Every structure is written in C-alpha cells, then in structure tokens.
C-alpha cells in the first residue's frame, strides 16, 4: 500500500506539497484534474499491468478504494 501511495503521489505536479494517505479523498485535492486522473490510470497500467477505466476511477473516492480496485483485478 505504501508503494502505491508513493506512486500515486508522483502523478501530481508538486507531490512534496501533498499529504496523501490511504484515507485521502483524492478528488477533493486542489490539484486533482482530468490530466492527473489520466496520469494515475497510466501509472496503474505501467506499474501493475492493470487497466482501470475512467468509469471505475470515478467510482473510487479514497486512495484505499482505488488500491482495493487495483488488487481486485
């Protein structure tokens, strides 16, 4: 999970300024946008060889929910 959080944080423009943990509601982050969403999808595909659709991503609210989606595939 910690590795996933670090990889997730790296998809943001200024990751050092973010405090992200498993309970973070990532859509509420000021820097969350469609480009970041695409970057997260690409990271998941590259790192875990799993494809997450935009619809699946939209159903997730927290980092943990997204992580659980990844490990369920």
pLDDT in tens, the chain (73 residues): 999 999 999 999 888 788 999 999 999 999 999 999 999 999 999 999 999 999 999 999 999 999 999 999 9
- Per the listing, tokens 């695409």 go with 38
Rounded Cα distance between 72 and 9, Å, is 21
Report domain extents, the chain. 2-7+25-72
Predicted TM-score (pTM) of the model is 0.90
Tokens 């959080």 correspond to: 5
Tell me how far apart the alpha carbons of residues 1 and 73 are, in angstroms, rounded to a whole number. 15
């Amino acid at each position: 999970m910690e590795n996933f959080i670090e990889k997730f944080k790296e998809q943001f423009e200024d990751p050092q300024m973010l405090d992200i943990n498993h309970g973070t509601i990532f859509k509420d982050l000021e820097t969350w946008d469609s480009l970041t969403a695409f970057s997260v999808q690409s990271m998941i595909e590259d790192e875990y060889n799993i494809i997450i659709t935009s619809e699946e991503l939209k159903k997730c609210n927290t980092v943990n929910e997204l992580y659980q989606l990844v490990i369920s595939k």
